[in-house]
Amino acid sequence: MRRNAGLFVAISLLSGFGSSAMSLVAGIWILDLTGSTSLAALAGLCVYAPVLAGPWLGGLLDRAPRRPLVIAVNLLLAAALSALLAVRGPGQTWLIFTVSCAYGVSYVLIDAGETALLPAALAPTELGHVNGWRSSAQEGMKLVAPLAGAGLYAWRGGHAVALLSAATPVLVALLYAVLRLDRAPIDQPTERGGGPRTGLVVLFGQRATRLPVVLAAVSIAMSGFTTAGIYAVVVTELRLPTTFLGVLASAQGAGSILGGLIVGRLIAARGAGAVGVAGTALFAVGCLARCLPWWPATVVGAVVAGVGLPWTLVAAVTAVQTHTPSALLGRVSATANTAMFGPLVVAIPLGAVAVHLGARPPVIAAAAICLTAVVVATFHRQSAPSDETPTAPAPRRTARGARRGAAARAAPPAGPRPGRAGAGAAGPRVR
């Protein structure tokens, strides 16, 4: 098990380095080629837009052998990145957009695939720990990789960054190939049918997954909603230079690394639901601290918010892995990702509009929304015998039993629970 845990952390380090380096350089490259900041910003939209198709893409993981599919996606991503070597001028800018879209599709498939593979490689008691370590690894790469990518771009140009980023998914594919998956027969294809609706029913049909995913969705959406407000607090209210935003980003990254290292123990001791509540509350406290008219408090608030966000994300991912039948983990994981990250598409522009009311009102509103979610989640947890008790079959069932469970859920008497208000998946991705 320690071998598999180390391999998953190494996968997160490699994939986090390659994707973080390329995500920054793609925008810089487009800006240099076209001189258009709006076109450069569209590269990021291309990466995140495919998450909205998560429930449909996740079904592929339940209809095909998962490990071969994840390996194939990584190799295809490497091939797509290699195509950037053909970029010579503004006329080939479309290639960068195409590769950005390919990155987005691969994120959905690989994130869901890795979430589905983890329970087959690790004991249930290890899932929270390894998910936390993976989160810390990815956050660490977000501090290092953009600087390394930008430096390499300045030194050798975009082609060098493309080659480096293309090498990482090849190495990741090799690491996937040597994993030992012997805890569940998840590599067997399942029956067709059910579609996205099955993922929604399983995800939101049980309290043990519904509450952590909703809390993660709220926290991640509010992290996007407060972006413009925090910029305004630093520049307008505190009258600090824009470079101070880099200090806040590093402080939040440091908090995320710390939070990822300890979240596994908390989940083992208190359960995913309780950790999700605590993470959302911490993020709200961090928002309020960043509203104080004193720059050290803003830095402390960034660290606190950085601890809280990965707690909500890791709690949600661990709950999905623990309480979802193995035959359905692909579509349920992808649906959870859509629920958690999809609201960012709306939250970020709404925050950009809300900042016209003032720098602090959007940040205070985000804290209030998070605290409201905490109160509601706490009430629901206390009103149930145990929020950690699954109402769906446990993931250790056989593939045949899981398929029977899927068929039963595909046609529930009352239909699936109403959707997006109870959705959730993750902001900085656990990959």
Dump pLDDT digits (tens) for 183-197: 654 444 444 445 667
- Location of structure tokens 């522009």: 349
Rounded Cα distance, 313 and 139, in Å: 13
Separation of CA 427 from chain center: 4
Under DSSP, is residue 430 helix (H, G, I), strand (E, B) or coil? coil
Mean pLDDT computed over every residue of the chain: 80
Q: What is the pLDDT of residue 201?
A: 85
Which residues are CB-contacts of 7 (< 8 A; sequence separation ≥ 6)?
175, 178, 179
Q: Is the dihedral of CA 380, 385, 386, 390 positive or negative?
A: negative
Q: Is residue 58 within 8 Å of 112, Cβ to Cβ?
A: yes
Q: Is residue 232 within 8 Å of 297, Cβ to Cβ?
A: no
Rounded Cα distance, 245 and 249, in Å: 6
Rounded Cα distance, 177 and 194, in Å: 29
Separation of CA 334 from chain center: 10
Q: Is residue 329 within 8 Å of 199, Cβ to Cβ?
A: no
**Which of these, 233, 172, 207, 197, lies nearest to 19 by C-alpha position?**
172
Burial class (CB in 10 A: 0-12, 13-18, 19+), 91: exposed
Distances (CA, A) of 332 to 106, 108, 339, 355: 17, 12, 10, 35
Q: What is the pLDDT of residue 409?
A: 36
Output the pTM of the full model: 0.72
Q: Indicate the pLDDT class of residue 367, thresholds 50, 70 and 90.
A: very high
Dump pLDDT digits (tens) for 38-56: 677 677 778 877 888 877 7
**Token digits of residue 28:** 């810089």
Q: Indicate the pLDDT class of residue 420, thresholds 50, 70 and 90.
A: very low
The answer to whether residue 325 scores a pLDDT higher than 80 is yes
Rounded Cα distance, 345 and 140, in Å: 25
Dump pLDDT digits (tens) for 393-415: 343 443 334 334 433 333 333 33
Distances (CA, A) of 80 to 103, 106, 236, 311, 362: 9, 11, 42, 33, 39
Rounded Cα distance, 237 and 262, in Å: 34
User: 239's torsion region: left (phi>0), alpha (psi -120 to 50) or beta?
Assistant: left
Q: Is the dihedral of CA 89, 94, 100, 103 positive or negative?
A: negative
Q: Is residue 414 within 8 Å of 235, Cβ to Cβ?
A: no
Dump pLDDT digits (tens) for 17-41: 888 788 778 888 988 898 886 677 6
Dump pLDDT digits (tens) for 129-144: 888 888 888 878 877 8
Dump pLDDT digits (tens) for 247-275: 787 788 888 888 888 888 899 888 999 99
Question: How many separate helices (H) and strands (E) can be counted in the chain?
Answer: 17, 0
Ordered DSSP codes for 286-324: HHHHTTSSSHHHHHHHHHHHHHHHHHHHHHHHHHHHHHS
